Amino acid sequence: MFVDKAKIYVKGGDGGDGLIAFRRELYVPDGGPAGGDGGNGGSVVFRVDEGLRTLVDFRYKKHYKAPNGEKGKNKGRHGANAEDLVVRVPPGTVVIDDDTKEVVADLTVHGQEVVVARGGRGGRGNMRFVSPANTAPHIAENGEEGEERWLVLELKVMADVGLVGFPSVGKSTLLSVVSGARPKIGAYHFTTITPNLGVVDVGDGRSFVMADLPGLIEGAHAGVGLGHEFLRHVERTRIILHVIDMAATEGRDPFDDWQKINNELKLYSEKLAERPQLIIANKMDLPGAEEQLEFFREQLRELGRDDEIFPISAAANKGVQQVLYRVADMLDELPEAPAAEEVTQSAERKIFKFEKQEDNSFKIRRENEMFVVDSPGIEKFIKRTNFSSYESQLRFGRILRKMGVDKELRKMGAKDGSIVRIGDFEFEFVEQE
């Protein structure tokens, strides 16, 4: 089964909680705090595996969660960091954030890796909060939550050669003749609805991968027909073989077909219009094909073009070998690297939210009698705070006062007993004497 698109959920592991503990050893009076830090949560990592060809695995499993870090231990021992969750993807996979629609990564090379969901940082144990003013702190942090997101995976077929053309022009027949592939062949439009891959043995020790891509129609660049489902696969090919029904068996004009297909490629991507292309004049064994071919050549000359044309009959296996030799020669001259989309470093860094400097700015608004504090930084700090510890509660209050939250609440009319909401937590405002 060929699957070229999937939507999955990924979540990095949560960091382990820091521990509140004290040394309790014989002959060690007043041993002091000894609570260790929690371990970091594992990250979700995508790794390219050239042995994979489809995204079918993601159809049956849609949730991927990395393990959590271990909690801190006594005697100052840190909890173990969790291992990363490595998810294998086929070459040609484009990873897109479902919310922002940003391209996270374009994975093309075997072994290439990208972190798609960072694990949370482990919380600090109480030995980290020792100070001259507080030599025995009962304070520890909770571990940070791992990053979570929905991703859309799109597979662009990694093939040396792509067959394009209107439906029923003979692309699938050509692939079946030159390779061991057995695509579905039928006398109706869109017989092929997913790409078919075949390895072509030229016969002189050279070989290449050819893709029979779904038929293209006018308006495909805007999503008409199979639209983008087809066009994204063309982007990966190094050479385009433009297959034309030169016998005009369906009543269409071959030259008009050629112009329309090329226009769709150009409208979708300027780079596709510049891709090396050979014209394959198929069905030359049928009546009228020779006349149509001569007229086709004349129209090309009128445009000032001298494109290479190979007359063939895929069904009768005539003229096909010359095409294979020419394609192999062209591939020898072209660079090996696939034509992958450039993903800027700045765009790629946008997904690593844990590497960004924390934003501690805040805004306060009123909802009837309740005061709501909006601040991603403070909400994150709340999640790290262990409210079961009285000293942690006091520390949380001190930090809010230092940030100026208390002062701003008073300005907006907060009094003793007023309810303040920050994220999912509600607090009672208390005036400090």
Q: Please provide the DSSP assignment of 74-138 as one string.
A: STTPPPPPPPPEEEEE-TTEEEEETTT--EEEEE-STT-EEEEEPPPPPPPPGGGG-BTTBSS--
Q: What local confidence, expressed as pLDDT, does residue 77 receive?
A: 92
What the block records as the tokens of 426 is: 């509600």
Q: To which residue do tokens 């942090």 refer?
A: 141
Q: What local confidence, expressed as pLDDT, does residue 180 receive?
A: 60
In the three-class reduction of DSSP (H, G, I as helix; E, B as strand; rest coil), residue 376 is classed as helix
Query: 381: closest CA among 45, 121, 195, 98?
Result: 121
Q: What local confidence, expressed as pLDDT, does residue 23 receive?
A: 85
Query: 154: closest CA among 216, 228, 85, 237?
Result: 228
From first to last of its 433 residues, the chain has per-residue pLDDT tens of 455 688 999 999 999 999 999 987 777 666 789 999 999 999 999 999 988 877 888 988 999 999 999 999 998 899 999 999 999 998 888 899 999 989 898 888 889 999 999 999 999 999 999 988 888 899 999 999 999 999 999 887 777 888 888 888 888 888 888 886 554 444 433 344 456 777 788 888 888 888 887 655 544 334 444 434 556 667 778 899 999 999 988 888 999 989 988 888 888 777 777 889 999 999 999 999 999 999 999 999 999 988 899 999 988 989 999 999 999 999 988 876 544 444 443 343 344 444 455 667 889 898 888 999 888 888 888 888 888 888 888 888 888 888 888 888 888 888 888 898 988 888 888 876 5
- Spatial contact of 301 and 309, defined as CB atoms under 8 Å apart: no
pLDDT, tens only, 350-405: 444 444 556 678 898 988 889 998 888 888 888 888 888 888 888 888 888 888 88
Alpha-carbon separation of residue 361 from 72, 335, 377 (angstroms): 30, 50, 7
Q: What local confidence, expressed as pLDDT, does residue 85 receive?
A: 96
Task: Find residue 280's DSSP bridge partners.
Answer: 243, 310
3-state helix, strand, coil in the chain (%, to 5): 25, 25, 50
Q: What is the spatial distance between Cα 199 and Cα 159, in angstroms, rounded to a whole number?
A: 9
Q: Helix 254-268 vs helix 227-234: angle between axes, to the nearest 10 degrees?
A: 80
Q: What local confidence, expressed as pLDDT, does residue 325 receive?
A: 93
pLDDT, tens only, 171-230: 888 888 888 655 444 443 334 445 677 778 888 888 888 888 765 554 433 444 443 455
Q: What local confidence, expressed as pLDDT, does residue 349 receive?
A: 39
Q: What local confidence, expressed as pLDDT, does residue 113 receive?
A: 92
Q: What local confidence, expressed as pLDDT, does residue 306 receive?
A: 86
Alpha-carbon separation of residue 121 from 4, 39, 142, 218 (angstroms): 34, 7, 9, 52
| H or E element, residue 5 | strand 5-11
| H or E element, residue 233 | helix 227-234
Domains and CATH numbers, the chain: 5-155 (2.70.210.12), 161-333 (3.40.50.300), 363-428 (3.30.300.350)
